A and B are shown apart, each in its own frame.
Chain A
């Protein structure tokens, strides 16, 4: 009896390991911001070709790159999505695990909206206002040029800028694990922070300090971490007229009857204004492909062809319908030719 059991266990374990050595579907991991776009392409791909539908996990940009760079082989993902560019350290980690050839594909752009309920007046803020309202430490309001930082004293938007309404600062946004939060800190807060000359000067002297001043969000309850679920933020904005929310453009687009995007530096977050680059808080989205897996896992080339076809990422493609902001035609051409010639990423 005992022998039988141990034999069965041994057999089943070898069986399991054997299973891992074959995979006939593409495995994609990565950013939750790219997820809604990658899944649409995957579904189209699965329906229109003889290949299986790729499996797409939403792990976040950082988590996805970590899995992606873990090694070459069927147990590792073939593609990772990212809502920021791959970092040098990540390329090095990949190289350390034998992944030398990575193809970089830029998908398009995503705008980050600062929105509030339709029942309240539309906001118009500058990036500097955003920084002053949300940073943990700001220049002393009594003497802003003194170079002294104090804990953020602002309670209402009017305190920040006398042209803004007299409403308590209350912003619902994603937690630090989110790529949207990273991009918001980098584009909106740092963008505003740079407008203050002595902080900008700090960048050259003490980069670490500069980053921590510009990117650290206040923790006194004015910025409320509302989780990764953007739908939840939209619902909360509907219930709370005085609050602003931070989320991706696609959610603004789908809920335009409930919430409105604030003007940032006088520019509204609309499809056209994000596409032409005038809306300041927008970021590129990418995915990265492991070249070593091409030809081993069936369908990777065809998946790339589907993603980079005009009917997907073009100006009138189905990704644009889902809220992705397409790249200009020239840029699309450049990335498409990189994909076709399988040109590897060089940083």
Chain B
């Protein structure tokens, strides 16, 4: 009998032993699959970052050309003229052209001249105009001025143009190449930090375009969005969590808030178009409407995060406050809300970051538009950062490729810093019970 039991036990051990290896292997495989998933994710993220940075870092530099401008009184205005009206009307385009002709006197053919003029940006004439208007004493003098190079020249200097393809297929022709080389030999070409990218609005000339207008637009839009969605979201969360009776109606509301969080953002754009623009008659393309639409979109996120934050405040706090005679409102405003605030703020910041990157609903309300002037308030037409990226990605000029990536980098920097702020807030103020 005893022997029999022993035998049975041995058999079980053998079987366990046999299966053990297989189970270890399975576990290892399971772990490896998980690790593999993480590595794959990291590879994709790093690929994204590397390709964006590799494409975009050159956009932070801009090529300048030094030209010797003779501020000829005959071409601008008599010496001593200070009337801004007269000074602004002068033919500065002609002045730039004449300067280039003087620098390359061998160019006489009309077609070649046209190519020569395209060495510098069309922005050069406005630069000269601003110089003269600021200091009319320049008239009649000879000055060396660094002006913006044309986008094709900029691309060549940055090495984005392949010189091995036949001349007819290149944006930079052989004669342009020769002029550029002679300018380089005289140290008249240099790359500088691209301040225009941060100080200008949109432009159809890549070398004159910047993200300031879009950044301002994003700022006003987010401000409106925050001012509306944060108070409304917190109020809704407090009511639902602390005051609302538990019945069928509140259940329906809760389900619908969760559903709203999953509604595609373009739907909010359509709603905004119908309500704010068509019904209330608000103007198209303004941050005010953009902010309202994005507020609708972020509200569910904020409500859900705020309710979770309120839920995590232990009931003992409320009971203690009520126990020493505080009214329900005092309990909430003095104790529950301050304790839940870090969680609410984290949810709000994440909602805002989501709103910052949103394009689809803004398509519907006309914020995908070419806007040069930098908006001064929420009632001025403006674009936002992701829209600017979308518009540049669709532009034919080669130089917009790097600017698109550079704008993406700026947007990512904003998003990452907002998320870091959320993490920091959580770490600093979070309380464990």
B393 CB contacts on chain A under 8 angstroms: 229, 231
B389-433 near A? 1/0 per residue, CB < 8 Å = 001011111100100000000000000000000000000000000
* A252 CB to nearest B CB, Å: 9
Is A55 on the interface with B (CB-CB < 8 A)? yes
Q: Are B204 and A322 within 8 A (Cβ)?
A: yes
Smallest CB-CB separation from B379: which chain A residue? A19
Q: Are B372 and A17 within 8 A (Cβ)?
A: no
B204 CB contacts on chain A under 8 angstroms: 36, 39-40, 43, 322
Is B170 on the interface with A (CB-CB < 8 A)? yes
A318 CB contacts on chain B under 8 angstroms: 122
B373 CB contacts on chain A under 8 angstroms: 25, 46, 52-53
B369 CB contacts on chain A under 8 angstroms: 55-58
- How many residues of chain B are within 8 Å of chain A by beta carbon? 39
Is A167 on the interface with B (CB-CB < 8 A)? no
B281 CB contacts on chain A under 8 angstroms: 16-17, 20, 75
Q: Are B203 and A43 within 8 A (Cβ)?
A: yes
Interface residues of A in 177-231 (CB under 8 A from B): 228-231
* A147 CB to nearest B CB, Å: 43
Chief secondary structure at chain B's binding surface:
loop
Q: Are A230 and B285 within 8 A (Cβ)?
A: no
B114 CB contacts on chain A under 8 angstroms: 316
Is B53 on the interface with A (CB-CB < 8 A)? no
Interface residues of A in 253-304 (CB under 8 A from B): 253-257, 260
A253 CB contacts on chain B under 8 angstroms: 396
Q: Are A231 and B396 within 8 A (Cβ)?
A: yes
Is B188 on the interface with A (CB-CB < 8 A)? no
Smallest CB-CB separation from B399: which chain A residue? A254
With contacts A13-B280, A19-B282 taken as known, whether A118 is within 8 angstroms of B203 at the C-beta atoms is: no
Q: Are B285 and A57 within 8 A (Cβ)?
A: yes
* A48 CB to nearest B CB, Å: 9
* B372 CB to nearest A CB, Å: 4
B161 CB contacts on chain A under 8 angstroms: 257
Is B324 on the interface with A (CB-CB < 8 A)? no
* B159 CB to nearest A CB, Å: 14
Q: Are B280 and A17 within 8 A (Cβ)?
A: yes
* A322 CB to nearest B CB, Å: 7
With contacts A20-B283, A46-B372 taken as known, whether A118 is within 8 angstroms of B169 at the C-beta atoms is: yes
Is B171 on the interface with A (CB-CB < 8 A)? yes
Smallest CB-CB separation from A32: which chain B residue? B394
Interface residues of B in 272-322 (CB under 8 A from A): 277, 280-285, 288
- How many residues of chain A are within 8 Å of chain B by beta carbon? 45
* A253 CB to nearest B CB, Å: 8
Is A47 on the interface with B (CB-CB < 8 A)? yes
Q: Are B371 and A55 within 8 A (Cβ)?
A: yes
A116-138 near B? 1/0 per residue, CB < 8 Å = 00100000000000000000000
Q: Are A254 and B285 within 8 A (Cβ)?
A: no
Is A23 on the interface with B (CB-CB < 8 A)? yes
Is A27 on the interface with B (CB-CB < 8 A)? yes
Is A308 on the interface with B (CB-CB < 8 A)? no
Is A61 on the interface with B (CB-CB < 8 A)? no
B168, B169, B171, B394: the one contacting A230 at CB < 8 Å is B394
Q: In the bound complex, what is the Cα–Cα distance between A47 and B395 (angstroms)?
A: 21
Is A323 on the interface with B (CB-CB < 8 A)? yes
Give the most central of A13, A36, A231, A260: most B CB within 10 Å.
A231
Is A154 on the interface with B (CB-CB < 8 A)? no
A255 CB contacts on chain B under 8 angstroms: 396, 398
Is A35 on the interface with B (CB-CB < 8 A)? yes
Smallest CB-CB separation from B394: which chain A residue? A229
Is B140 on the interface with A (CB-CB < 8 A)? no
Q: In the bound complex, what is the Cα–Cα distance between A39 and B342 (angstroms)?
A: 46
Smallest CB-CB separation from A316: which chain B residue? B114
B203, B277, B394: the one contacting A231 at CB < 8 Å is B394
A118 CB contacts on chain B under 8 angstroms: 165, 169
Is A251 on the interface with B (CB-CB < 8 A)? yes
B203 CB contacts on chain A under 8 angstroms: 43
Is A237 on the interface with B (CB-CB < 8 A)? no
* B161 CB to nearest A CB, Å: 7
Is B60 on the interface with A (CB-CB < 8 A)? no
Is B366 on the interface with A (CB-CB < 8 A)? yes
Q: Are A251 and B283 within 8 A (Cβ)?
A: no
Smallest CB-CB separation from B392: which chain A residue? A231
B364-392 near A? 1/0 per residue, CB < 8 Å = 00101111110000010100000000010
Q: In the bound complex, what is the Cα–Cα distance between A59 and B371 (angstroms)?
A: 15
A29, A257, A316: the one contacting B171 at CB < 8 Å is A257
* A316 CB to nearest B CB, Å: 7
B280, B381, B396, B397: the one contacting A55 at CB < 8 Å is B381
Q: In the bound complex, what is the Cα–Cα distance between A321 and B204 (angstroms)?
A: 12
Q: In the bound complex, what is the Cα–Cα distance between A213 and B37 (angstroms)?
A: 49
With contacts A16-B282, A36-B396, A40-B204 taken as known, whether A256 is within 8 angstroms of B371 at the C-beta atoms is: no
Is B179 on the interface with A (CB-CB < 8 A)? no
Q: Are B396 and A251 within 8 A (Cβ)?
A: yes
Q: Are A25 and B282 within 8 A (Cβ)?
A: no
Smallest CB-CB separation from A250: which chain B residue? B396
A228 CB contacts on chain B under 8 angstroms: 394
Is B68 on the interface with A (CB-CB < 8 A)? no
Q: Are B396 and A257 within 8 A (Cβ)?
A: no
Q: Are B283 and A257 within 8 A (Cβ)?
A: no
Q: In the bound complex, what is the Cα–Cα distance between A254 and B366 (angstroms)?
A: 28
With contacts A42-B372, A58-B368, A318-B122 taken as known, whether A36 is within 8 angstroms of B395 at the C-beta atoms is: yes
Can you give 27 A-B contacts (C-beta < 8 A)?
Answer: A17-B280, A19-B379, A20-B283, A35-B370, A36-B204, A38-B370, A39-B204, A40-B204, A52-B373, A53-B371, A53-B372, A55-B285, A57-B369, A58-B368, A58-B391, A75-B281, A75-B283, A118-B169, A228-B394, A250-B396, A254-B171, A256-B170, A256-B171, A257-B162, A318-B122, A322-B204, A323-B396
| B residues adjacent to A (C-beta < 8 A) | 114, 118, 122, 126, 161-162, 165, 168-171, 203-205, 277, 280-285, 288, 366, 368-373, 379, 381, 391, 393-398, 401
Q: Nearest 9 A-B pairs (CB), nearest first?
A: A53-B372, A56-B370, A57-B369, A254-B396, A39-B370, A55-B381, A40-B204, A256-B169, A39-B204
